[in-house]
Amino acid sequence: MDLQIQQKVFLISGGAKGIGEAISRCIAEEGGYPVIIDPSVIEGKKLMVEFNTNGIKSLHIAKRLSNPSDAKDAIEQTVKAFGRIDGVVNNAGSNDGVGLENGTPEAFRASVEKNLGHYYDLVHYALPYLKETKGSIVNIGSKTAITGQGNTSGYIAAKGGQLSLTREWAVELLKYGIRVNAVIPAEVMTPLYKNWLETFENPNLKLKEIERKIPFENRMTTAKEIADTVVFLLSNRSSHTTGQHIFVDGGYTHLDRAL
């Protein structure tokens, strides 16, 4: 299947590492132009060089989205470089472990803001350009918004908010022909996931326990498998799919755990 995204421009927050990196790579493989918003200077530059060598235009905006002005600036840089925006992937986030007992009200608010605020900001400032292209938006969520995880209230509240905003924006943007979907990973080996595993006494044992519980093939989902679904949703090949929460997780969230 040709996804027909050649020369189209897509923003990926957190696009230099982990799931975001796989999405940037997948867009480039299909001939699209990735705009990577990520503070990781070395990784972002490396990807740009690699893409440009293969004849794919790209841009690395070395920035951590914190304030609305960061998103505004990223959109302005993108439009200056390419003159158009065809899609936004809200992906950047971190499970920062601010729970009820181990957190504070101030840390909770900061965590929600850190994980949710820039999802709104990026779409808000990209909207005039997405209207022109009838673009597509993909929010990366987390299965923890459905199952809970414990000791991470701020991250979970933000992840739940992302799923609600997916439905809300899908409705608000119907009139512009802009589609909005969420892709929900569960267990994907990335720098973020490795850091989380390291919090256990025996990370290898914990990993094996998790893999055993993943119904399909008893293995982690690869970042590439998440990316393939995201890029399909960005493309017009998914032209009648909007407002959906799509779990790419080997059945981990919904299938019988007793399997």
Closest to ligand NAP by CB, 13 or 238? 13
> Please, which of residues 57-96 interact with ligand NAP by CB under 6 A?
64-65, 91-94
Catalytic residue among 119, 125, 129, 155: 155
Contact pick of 25, 35, 40, 154 for ligand NAP (by CB under 6 A): 40
What is the DSSP-derived secondary structure letter of residue 82? H
> Please, which of residues 195-254 interact with ligand NAP by CB under 6 A?
none
What is the per-residue binding string for ligand NAP in 133-172, x denoting contact by CB under 6 A? -------x-x------------------------------
> Please, which of residues 8-37 interact with ligand NAP by CB under 6 A?
13-14, 16-20, 37
3-state secondary structure of 130: helix
Q: Say whether 155 is catalytic.
A: yes
Closest to ligand NAP by CB, 175 or 212? 212
CB 66 to ligand NAP: min, Å: 6
CA dihedral 246, 247, 253, 255 (to 10 degrees): 90
The phi and psi torsions of 111 (rounded to 5 degrees) equal: -70, -45
CB 43 to ligand NAP: min, Å: 7
CB 241 to ligand NAP: min, Å: 20
Contact pick of 8, 25, 60, 118 for ligand NAP (by CB under 6 A): 118
| Burial annotation 199-236 (CB, 10 A radius, 16+ → b, else e) | eeeeeeeebeebeeebbeeeebbebebbbbbbbbbbbe
CB 83 to ligand NAP: min, Å: 23
Q: Which of 147, 150, 70, 148 is nearest to 114 (CA)?
A: 70
Which amino acid is located at 188 in the chain? V
Sequence-ordered list of residues with C-beta below 8 angstroms from that of 28, at least 6 positions apart, any chain:
34, 51, 54, 56, 58
Side-chain half-sphere CA neighbours of 126 within 13 A: 32
3-state secondary structure of 183: strand
Contact pick of 87, 97, 154, 185 for ligand NAP (by CB under 6 A): 185
Which amino acid is located at 242 in the chain? T
Distance of alpha carbon 46 from alpha carbon 27, whole angstroms: 16
Closest to ligand NAP by CB, 92 or 112? 92
CB 28 to ligand NAP: min, Å: 17
Residues that bind ligand NAP (CB under 6 A): 13-14, 16-20, 37-40, 64-65, 91-94, 118, 140, 142, 185-188, 190-193
Q: What are the catalytic residues?
A: 155
